[in-house]
Chain A
Amino acid sequence: MATPTTQPGVEQSKVALSELPRYRPDPEGTHPPLDFAGYRSTRLRHPSEQLILLPQRLTEVTGPALGPGRLGPLDHDLTRQHAAEPIGQRIVVHGTLRDGDGRPVPDSLVEIWQANAGGRYRHKVDNWPTPLDPNFTGVGRALTDAHGHYRFVTIKPGGYPWGNHDNAWRPAHIHFSVFGRAFTQRLVTQMYFPDDPLFAHDPIFNSVPDAAARQRMVSRFDLDNTVEQWALGFRFDIVLRGRDATPFEEPHA
């Protein structure tokens, strides 16, 4: 099926492999620990052994190019996927996908899923007593443009109760899944809304140790992208690991 477009000799490959990009680790505190007592489900699911360092080689600095051909025309508009519009506050959620050096990630797949306006997911195990909305699935896909920009139209999800602790409620959020340019950059996160009173009580939000990093998961109200007489705008910029400029020396060459 696939035919190689170039066929460099072995010697050329050896030279070139010493020039693979290298993705910097994020600073301590950027990401949650795998073992986080406040979030009960981590208890039996976090590895107990230390992670082993995997030096970045070809498989890690490459990644899938997913996108064109995978999207329907209304995948980015969660308010137009059914016969009628869903109940709820209509919003525009947009932003850029960039790496830690400010480089946009173009033509890249962004996937989202979320609860409806009442805070319920269209999922068989979510059956808390708030109604499903027949006009809302809660799933969206978009591609970033040449500048790394993406845009969704949806409704603002509701917060919802969960069983983690007494009277536990999740702040309203939208799940985001992005790929970036390389396996090293793969990220799944959650986008929150400004000034949610539930932040202080949510172990998942607070599992991120660094307070400034936590704020990077909170979208901003965006008047410039608020559409008059139609929808409120929120901006959520996503930043993935940056790349070192210096050539990477293969440790086992």
Chain B
Amino acid sequence: MTETVTSHFDGSTPSQTVGPFLSIGLPWPDGPDVVPAGIAGAVLIVGTVFDGAGDPVPDAMIETWQADPDGRFDHPDDPRGPVAGWRGFGRCPTDAHGDYVIRTVLPGALPGQAPHLDVSVFARGLLHRVVTRIYLPDHADGHADDPVLASVPASRRDTLIAAWEDGGYRFDVRLQGPGETVFFDV
């Protein structure tokens, strides 16, 4: 096969919606498991995705990306060096009730930032992913000094902080309307 690398178009490829049928293509059996069950410190983050009418969204997908418990990544652009074998990534489609679950261990703090997970939300009706962050109530003492939380109006900051629930955490996503989750332009 001849390989001609052409750059006949300039500029990025546009985003499009995942549509209503993402659940045939994107789920993996171990998608929700950032870490396997039984790992010391493993916790569940559960939540529901809601639309602007307050109804659950059954055709959404949550993806999470986070540092390991020492605040490190397995990535060549982490100037502190990669941590081999740290997956850091979780993916879960919402079920018929709009619910998702991610199994992980809590991330460590990053230089100048409180521990957090970056989150992408995809759904039918979202022409582009929306991005948010999950912070944990365990680290509330450090939240006042976090530059990202500081950039969010105080009245909306709590939408970024998971709640303790059943030995794990709950982080609901409200796409629109009262209590709307803070979404970021990244």
Contacts and interface: CB of A to CB of B under 8 A. Distances in A.
Contacts of A56: 186
Contact of B111 (A17, A41, A45): A17
Contact of B126 (A34, A55, A60, A216): A34
Contact of B128 (A32, A175, A224): A32
A20 B175 contact: no
A173 to B, nearest CB: 8
Interface string B41-65: 0000000000111010100000101
Interface residues on A, range: 35 or more
Q: B-side binding surface: helix, strand, loop or mixed?
A: loop
B70 A4 contact: yes
A225 B3 CA distance: 9
B185 A54 contact: yes
Nearest to B6: A237
A200 interface: no
Q: A-side binding surface: helix, strand, loop or mixed?
A: loop
Contacts of A64: 65, 87-89
A214 B14 CA distance: 7
24 contacts: A1-B39, A2-B84, A5-B81, A6-B80, A33-B127, A48-B180, A49-B180, A57-B112, A57-B113, A58-B67, A58-B78, A59-B67, A59-B73, A59-B118, A61-B77, A62-B78, A123-B24, A188-B15, A189-B14, A189-B16, A216-B11, A216-B13, A225-B1, A237-B9
B164 interface: no
A238 interface: yes
A239 B13 contact: yes
A218 to B, nearest CB: 10
Interface of B: 1-9, 11-26, 28, 35, 39, 51-53, 55, 57, 63, 65-68, 70, 72-75, 77-89, 110-113, 116, 118, 120, 122-131, 133, 147-148, 151-152, 156, 175-177, 180-186
A36 B65 CA distance: 28
A184 B24 CA distance: 25
Contacts of B77: 20-21, 61-62, 181-182
Given A27-B11, A58-B73, A215-B9, A113 B21 contact: yes
Scoring B12, B122, B185 by chain A CB atoms within 10 A of each residue's CB, the highest score goes to B12
Contacts of B151: 52-53
Contacts of B15: 31-32, 187-189
A168 interface: no
A49 B180 CA distance: 8
A5 B72 CA distance: 11
A165 interface: no
A42 interface: yes
Contact of B74 (A32, A65, A113, A251): A65
Contacts of A113: 21-22, 24-26
B14 to A, nearest CB: 4
Contact of A186 (B13, B129, B148): B129
Contacts of A149: 3
Give 8 nearest A-B pairs by CB, closest first. Answer: A113-B25, A16-B79, A41-B125, A6-B81, A64-B89, A32-B127, A45-B125, A54-B184
A229 to B, nearest CB: 16
A51 B185 contact: yes
Given A45-B125, A149-B3, A181-B77, A31 B25 contact: no
A14 interface: yes
A187 B13 contact: yes
B13 A5 contact: no
B56 to A, nearest CB: 12
B172 to A, nearest CB: 14
